[in-house]
Amino acid sequence: MDWLTEHKLPVGDAAEAVFDWLQEHGGWFFDGMAVAMEALIEAILWLLQTPHEMLVVLLFTAATAALHRSWQVPLMVFLGFLFILNQGYWEETTESLTLVLSACVVCMGVGVPVGIFAAHNPGLYRFLRPVLDLMQTLPTFVYLIPAIVFFGIGMVPGLIATVIFVVPAPIRLTHLGISSTPKALLEAADAFGATPGQKLWKVELPSALPQIMAGLNQTIMLSLSMVVIAALVGADGLGVPVVRALNRVDTGLGFEAGLIIVVVAIMLDRALRWKQ
Amino acid sequence: MSAVAFENVSIIFGDRPASALPLADAGKDRGEIQSETGQVLGAHDCTLSVEEGEIVVLMGLSGSGKSTLLRAVNGLNKVARGRVLVNDDGDMVDVASCTAARLRRIRQRRVAMVFQQFGLLPWRTVAENVGFGLELAGQGGKERTETVKRQLALVGLADWGDRKVGELSGGMQQRVGLARAFATEAPVLLMDEPFSALDPLIRTRLQDELLDLQSELKRTILFVSHDLDEAFKIGNRIAIMEGGRIVQTGTPREIFSNPASDYVADFVANMNPLGVLTARDVMEPGTGNGAGEIAAETPIRDLMPRLKEGPLTVTEAGAALGRVTSDSVIARLCANS
Ligand SMILES: Nc1ncnc2c1ncn2[C@@H]1O[C@H](COP(=O)(O)OP(=O)(O)OP(=O)(O)O)[C@@H](O)[C@H]1O
Ligand SMILES: [Mg+2]
């Protein structure tokens, strides 16, 4: 036993060495990424915060109505927003929605192409799957540390942590959708002389659309579940009052902010469950 | 010139097709080849040419390699040896060795396919499915809409263009499949058991419709069937396959009256003779002195009601060939079973 404990494998040291190396040589890359993400976040935040809040509320309600063609869900969304305004959490809500929306843009923008590529290269997916498992099972706090190291504190590391946790979902679902395209349909496309591009756009993507939409839904819900963690690295939003309440052992504040997160989650979930 | 020609085509599924060829040449069957080399023999040494405007039916038991051979025509199956020539505007192009761009052109304009399980895109409307081939070939807008409309009318689905394919019955879905294949105006049609998934009444109706359409459109059709009645009804010629090899090619009459092997004879014995026999087949030779006259090529179905009048004299080009009686018909029918 002694021998075993004396020869501890240097897992921690190795990880640190890797991160040091990345920081030294990949600095420009991470800086560039930070700039792009910052811009994305600023743009979405500007869109949500510049107009009058009632206008934004009405726009969201109208969008829900357009998706559902019924009155119950839009009404619920509208009432949810009124409750948020009543509790005075409008600003935090827009910040959290910004985080969720930018996470959507990044996760879908990365996840769908990667999922397609993996579906077309089964060998690659065999290598990718354990990485995805790792990203989803590694406790989120663990990759908050390098997120801070590379991106400092603020919205950007919050977004990065969110993306790392969330992006496996759209990758997996896109992969599933594309690779379960019925063979008969691909063959029909081949028989009529489809190019690989035509096959992707006219057969594989439409066939995978339900799974890709499920991926979008999961992306949104999982991103929302990250708002408190993101607050730990300095991201603004509904997580901030929760963290503050935790530090001050303020039960009332904790419940208030927590309830707002639940309300937002229910609104998003219902709004996104429309029949196609 | 033929529209499609198979020249000594061998198709082998597996990673080392070359290892199976010598065994196949030595006449070994699929089981032996698989246990020795791990390769699956799909088709071997098949030679067949299909003339323009002709319907040739590939016939055989399940696993005999009909689909495998058919799918070589548009390159869905890779050929291990031999050539599959398709007439592309006067050039005979070997689809097994031509470039990808040429193959795509052939698939878009020269060879269309109808599938057993239809192969329609369920998220599209009927009209969008019919226009699929044209869309892939880059034909757009108004021209495509017009063609689609015409094709839908042709298969009797003019009012169904805006429906989703899932709302249609199997028979109607296969009409959509036919319309999609007709729409590209490809001179060669490949049909892999297009009517097998349908119930018998609908099947018979679609067979009749196909023959009607063919008399108008005059395409070259390579048709796969495992049903000899269907093959006889549709085919100008029939190629019978067994274990990946073509064992007999001929007109329905040649195959019926002269089966090349027990395998073919078994098929023939199991079919409905009323669909094939003509007055010539059921007559007793002689000069005949019947109550009426009947042409040698009259199908037996049309002949039998007239037997009530008494024996009939069979004539060809004015000369009497023999005589048909109830007894001679029964004798001929018994000879086949
Ligand atoms: N993609 C493939 N990979 C491996 N073996 C195949 C493949 N396609 C066909 N085969 C084999 O080739 C042989 C011939 O199959 P094929 O599908 O041509 O038969 P068929 O005459 O069309 O029969 P059916 O009436 O059942 O459709 C079969 O033994 C089949 O298992
Ligand atoms: Mg088949």
| CA-wise closest residue to A236 among A124, A138, A101, A99 | A99
User: Is the pLDDT reported for residue B312 higher than 80?
Assistant: yes
Predicted TM-score (pTM) of the model is 0.86
The 10s digit of each residue's pLDDT in B79-133 is: 999 999 999 988 899 998 999 999 999 999 999 999 999 999 999 999 999 999 9
Name the band, by pLDDT with cuts 50, 70 and 90, for residue B279.
confident
- Check CB contact under 8 Å for B104 and A189: no
A212 lies within 8 A of chain B by CB: no
Q: What is the mean pLDDT of residues B65-78?
A: 94
pLDDT at A29: 86
- What is the average pLDDT value for chain B, to the nearest integer? 90
- Check CB contact under 8 Å for A194 and B136: yes
Name the band, by pLDDT with cuts 50, 70 and 90, for residue B337.
low
**Closest partner CB to B119 (pick from A188, A202, A209):** A188
Å between B9 CA and nearest CA of chain A: 20
Q: What is the mean pLDDT of residues B160-184?
A: 92
CA distance A158 to A103: 10
| Stated length of chain A | 276
Ligand 1 pocket residue status of B40, Cβ below 6 Å: yes
User: What's the token pair of residue B250?
Assistant: 């001929």
Alpha-carbon distances of A232 from A136, A143, A162, rounded to whole Å? 19, 12, 12
**Ligand 2 center–CA B202 separation, angstroms:** 20
Is B70 in contact with B58 (CB distance < 8 Å)? yes
Q: What is the mean pLDDT of residues B149-160?
A: 90
pLDDT at A6: 84
Pairing status of strand B237-242 against strand B2-13: unpaired
The 10s digit of each residue's pLDDT in B205-230 is: 889 989 988 998 899 999 999 888 89
Phi-psi region of B331 (alpha: psi -120 to 50; beta: other; left: phi over 0): alpha
Query: Whose Cα sits closest to atom 30 in ligand 1?
Result: B63
pLDDT at A158: 92
pLDDT at A223: 93
Mutate to test the interface with B, among A183, A192, A205 (most CBs of B within 10 A): A192
Q: What is the mean pLDDT of residues B174-187?
A: 92
User: Is the pLDDT reported for residue B242 higher than 90?
Assistant: yes
Q: What is the mean pLDDT of residues B22-38?
A: 92
Which residues of chain A does B180 touch, with a Cβ-Cβ cutoff of 8 Å? 192
Is B52 in contact with B220 (CB distance < 8 Å)? yes
Name the band, by pLDDT with cuts 50, 70 and 90, for residue B321.
confident
pLDDT at A142: 83
Mutate to test the interface with A, among B73, B86, B104 (most CBs of A within 10 A): B104
pLDDT at B276: 77
pLDDT at A276: 53
**Ligand 2 center–CA B138 separation, angstroms:** 30
Three-state SS for chain B is CEEEEEEEEEEEECCCHHHHHHHHHCCCCHHHHHHHHCCEEEEEEEEEEEECCCEEEEEECCCCCHHHHHCCCCCCCCCCEEEEEEEECCEEEECCCCCHHHHHHHHHHCEEEECCCCCCCCCCEHHHHHCHHHHHCCCCHHHHHHHHHHHHHHCCCHHHCCCEHHHCCHHHHHHHHHHHHHHCCCCEEEEECCCCCCCHHHHHHHHHHHHHHHHHHCCEEEEEECCHHHHHHHCCEEEEEECCEEEEEECHHHHHHCCCCHHHHHHHHCCCHHHCCEHHHHCEECCCCCCEEEECCCEHHHHHHHHHHCCEEEEECCEEEEEECHHHHHHHHHHCC
Ligand 1 pocket residue status of B42, Cβ below 6 Å: yes
The 10s digit of each residue's pLDDT in A210-243 is: 999 999 999 999 999 999 999 999 899 999 999 9
Residues of chain A falling short of pLDDT 70: 274-276
Three-state SS for chain A is CHHHHHCCCCHHHHHHHHHHHHHHHCHHHHHHHHHHHHHHHHHHHHHHHCCCHHHHHHHHHHHHHHHHCCCHHHHHHHHHHHHHHHHCCHHHHHHHHHHHHHHHHHHHHHHHHHHHHHHHCHHHHHHHHHHHHHHHHCCHHHHHHHHHHHHCCCHHHHHHHHHHHHCHHHHHHHHHHHHCCCHHHHHHHHHCCCCHHHHHHHHHHHHHHHHHHHHHHHHHHHHHCCHHHHHHCCCCCCHHHHHHHHHHCCHHHHHHHHHHHHHHHHHHHHHHCCCC
Residue A34 dihedral angles phi and psi, to the nearest 5°: -60, -40
User: Is the pLDDT reported for residue B236 higher than 90?
Assistant: yes
Name the band, by pLDDT with cuts 50, 70 and 90, for residue B256.
confident
ipTM of predicted assembly, 2 dp: 0.86
